[in-house]
Chain A
Amino acid sequence: MIEVNNLHKNFGSLKVLKGITEKVEDSEVVCVIGPSGSGKSTFLRCLNLLETPTSGDIWIDGEKVTDPKVNINKIREEVGMVFQRFNLFPHMTALKNVAIAPMKVRGLSEKEAYDRAHDLLKKVGLEDKANVYPSSLSGGQQQRVAIARALAMHPKVMLFDEPTSALDPEMVGEVLNVMKDLAKEGMTMVVVTHEMGFAREVGDRVLFMDDGIIVEKGTPHEIFYNAQNERTKSFLSKVL
């Protein structure tokens, strides 16, 4: 589903990604862990070109994303993204937040889009909040709406950029549960997270990133109970 080949990203003279090569299979849930500043978010943001890679290639579902001639809007339609700070549209109700992209981008009729949005809000357990504006929702609820909004485009891949890092601890669970359901349904997911429990339980594979490279990767069991690399061990000893 996703193929990344020798991806580099510099911000000015700062080298953030120093050669990432990785493959994500269909229906796979890949969790990316690592210390702050290791490049995990940048890696994720390169996948839908919110950051333009300095060099290297990315394919998503067979389309070469890094081809300069590619229609990036078309690719982004197939790649859902959930942000750390939700980024819901504050001037729209929860329902409209979910319906707007199918309507404006996919060209669904208002009725189709709102029906779809209703179904998705139900799926994330927020059908009773359809007509509420984001500022009246808790962080956990906002993030669930944001997930519904991304799903409304029926994406082939979902990218999660630290989806629970901005949440109060008691709200982390409700968001992770929605993500677990999604994983069970077979959604291909790349999740940058500090939730080691989620990575261990839901992840098919875990990538440990540090200093712009993937230092170690493997099944959750291999990474969490049998890490080989010193940096991985030292990181895990601090967070577990």
Chain B
Amino acid sequence: MSLLASYLEHAITVFPSLLRGAVITIEVTTFAIFFGLILGTIAAFGKLSKRSVFKIPSTMYVDFIRGTPLFVQILLFYYGIPGLIFGLTGDPFMIDPIIAGIAVCSINSGAYNAEIVRAGIKSVDRGQMEAARSLGMAEGQAMREVIVPQAVRLIIPPLGNEFIALLKDSSLLAIISVHELSKNGMLYVSKTFATFPTYISVALVYLALTMGISRVLNYIERRLGVSDRSE
């Protein structure tokens, strides 16, 4: 009983710090979702483009990010790039860890989003584009009016999974001392050695956050489902 009581006490003590960490986690994730969507959409259309000026850089970006671990990308961005700038200019160069965290997560998420968006657009039946073009619509117009509205509904569910993965992966930013949820748990453990109650609390807060995202996404899916009358 005394073990349980001490665990509970630790859980209660660590909780405010975990909440502060959760706020940072949500902040980083929200910005990364936003910028990741923009990057992903640009890269998706780049990859779909017939022109190699757009296609090649987009493909290289997606391949590089998907082919390397997020952990290494964080190290490269936070330590590697300032190191390179120092080497080139001789001036010390630092990036704010949260800014770096948001940037890396956005870039990382963007690559995965690109594939999701691209697949969504590709999976709209070819006849839709033909019908739109045969009515005299220009390609961009057909995309806007006909293809994208249909693709969005196909894109939302996998995009939701991607957002949840992003929120969980943001825990890796602990390594560059972003004081997000995991980092705050680790700090508490280093002071108290209360490993189990701290980390189970950390895990449960993540679970609450991801379930929150799932709910929001389900709501959006249902809302979009209202006009989903495709065969």
Q: A-side interface residues toward B, CB under 8 Å?
A: 48, 50, 73-74, 76-77, 79-81, 83, 85, 87-91, 100-101, 104-105, 133-136, 146, 149-150, 153
Contact = CB atoms under 8 A, between A and B. Distances in A.
B191 to A, nearest CB: 56
Contacts of B229: 90-91, 133-136
A137 to B, nearest CB: 10
Contacts, number: 70
Contact of A73 (B125, B127, B137, B230): B137
Given A83-B127, A100-B145, A104-B145, A90 B231 contact: yes
Contacts of B138: 73
Contacts of A101: 135-137
A85 B135 contact: no
Given A87-B125, A91-B149, A149 B230 contact: no
B131 A87 contact: yes
A91 B130 CA distance: 16
Contact of B231 (A79, A135, A146, A153): A135
A166 to B, nearest CB: 11
A83 B135 CA distance: 12
B141 interface: yes
Pick from B128, B130, B131, B134 the residue with the most CB of A within 10 Å.
B134
Given A50-B130, A87-B127, A149 B227 contact: no
Given A90-B231, A134-B229, A135-B230, A105 B136 contact: yes
B150 interface: yes
B146 interface: yes
Given A134-B229, A135-B229, A135-B230, A89 B131 contact: yes
Interface of chain B, helix or strand or loop or mixed? helix
Nearest to A78: B136
Contacts of A80: 134
Contacts of B127: 83, 85, 87
A88 B146 CA distance: 10
Given A76-B133, A79-B134, 12 more contacts: A76-B136, A77-B135, A81-B131, A81-B134, A85-B127, A88-B131, A90-B230, A91-B149, A91-B229, A100-B145, A134-B231, A136-B229
Nearest to B136: A77
Pick from B135, B141, B149, B231 the residue with the most CB of A within 10 Å.
B135
Contacts of B131: 81, 83, 87-89, 146
Contact of B146 (A85, A89, A135, A153): A89
Contacts of A105: 135-137, 141
A90 B150 contact: yes
Contacts of A76: 133-136
A104 B142 CA distance: 10
B121 to A, nearest CB: 14
B136 A153 contact: yes
A89 B138 CA distance: 16
B184 to A, nearest CB: 45
Contact of B135 (A91, A133, A153): A153
A134 B146 CA distance: 14
Interface string B80-109: 000000000000000000000000000000
Contacts of A133: 227, 229
B119 to A, nearest CB: 18
